[in-house]
């Protein structure tokens, strides 16, 4: 297989991709992650994943680039990473006692071909008390996580069920990523 690059600094994406037994390097591009006017969450994550892949391919034109972006959608809003404790509490107040959608855009790119997909998983959160929120914030786990939680960590205690891909909620839907790699002939 050609030189494979994961266009992400996310340790969770690195761990997920390692589960596939692939050898790869990491290069995290700096792109503008602003939400465009009227953009829905699916379009947003796909656009960012493709922008990351394009940016890395410009630097490494002979590589196969895998890029992803994950955000939550609830009430027509895109929920990203918390900017502060107050922001995390506001996010959790929206998620508390209900279902929300986690979207990941994945883009696999070579100089010959570009394939992308958006994967949606529905996650149900239990009702969270202020004590739950305070306790979870104190762990430090919510910092830097889309939706201010990590399903693979302590937050699992607040999630009674999901419908769809677990690895998608972590940050890289593995089944779909393999399918995209196969479309660009990177895997047999």
What CATH number is associated with residue 120? Answer: 3.90.950.10
The per-residue pLDDT for 155 is 97
187 has pLDDT over 80? no
Give the closest residue to 110 by CA, choosing from 13, 181, 15, 32.
181
Question: What is the number of domains present in the chain?
Answer: 1
For 93, phi then psi, to 5°, come to -65, -35
Asked whether residue 82 is assigned to any structural domain, the reply reads: yes
For residue 188, pLDDT over 60 is answered with no
Structure confidence at residue 40 (pLDDT): 95
Judge whether 188 lies within some domain.
no
> Looking at the domain assignment, is residue 154 inside a domain?
yes
Q: Where does the pLDDT of residue 17 fall: very low under 50, low under 70, confident under 90, or very high at 90 and above?
A: very high
Please provide the average confidence, as pLDDT, over all residues in the chain.
Answer: 95
> Percent of the chain at pLDDT above 90?
92
- Residue identified by tokens 């998983």 is 121
Query: Is 167 inside a domain boundary?
Result: yes
Q: Can you give the pLDDT at residue 80?
A: 86
Instruction: List the one residue out of 23, 3, 11, 183 whose CA is nearest residue 106.
Output: 183
Helices marked H in the chain: 11-19, 41-59, 85-95, 130-138, 166-170, 174-183
For residues 31 and 69, give the distance between their C-alpha atoms in angstroms, rounded to a whole number: 12
Q: Tell me which residue range forms the domain holding 124.
A: 4-183
**Residue 40 to residue 128: CA distance in whole angstroms:** 26
Q: How far apart are the first and last CA of the chain?
A: 9
Q: What is the mean pLDDT of residues 86-110?
A: 97
The residues that bridge with 168 in the sheet, in sequence order, are none
Rounded Cα distance, 127 and 106, in Å: 31
148 belongs to a structural domain: yes
User: Residue 2: its pLDDT value, please?
Assistant: 75
CA–CA separation, 134 vs 140, rounded Å?
A: 11
In a domain, 124, yes or no: yes
Catalytic sites, residue numbers? 69
In this predicted structure, what is the pLDDT of residue 89? 97
Q: Domain for residue 70, yes or no?
A: yes
What CA–CA distance (Å, rounded) separates 67 from 116?
9
Span 22-38, average pLDDT: 95
């Amino acid at each position: 297989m050609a030189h494979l690059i994961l266009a992400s600094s996310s340790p969770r994406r690195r761990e997920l991709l390692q589960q596939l037994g692939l050898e790869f390097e990491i290069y995290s591009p700096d792109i503008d992650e602003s939400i465009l006017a009227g953009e829905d969450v699916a379009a947003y994550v796909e656009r960012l994943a493709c922008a990351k892949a394009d940016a890395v391919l410009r630097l490494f034109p002979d590589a196969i680039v895998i890029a992803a972006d994950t955000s939550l959608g609830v009430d027509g809003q895109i929920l990203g990473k918390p900017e502060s404790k107050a922001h995390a509490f506001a996010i959790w107040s929206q998620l508390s006692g209900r279902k929300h959608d986690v979207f990941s855009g994945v883009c696999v790119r070579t100089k010959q071909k570009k394939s992308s997909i958006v994967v949606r998983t529905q996650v149900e959160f239990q009702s969270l008390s202020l004590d739950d929120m305070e306790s979870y914030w104190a762990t430090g786990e919510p910092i830097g996580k889309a939706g201010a939680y990590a399903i693979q960590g302590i937050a699992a205690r607040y999630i009674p069920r999901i419908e769809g891909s677990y690895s998608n909620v972590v940050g890289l839907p593995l089944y779909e990523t393999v399918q995209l790699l196969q479309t660009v002939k990177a895997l047999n």
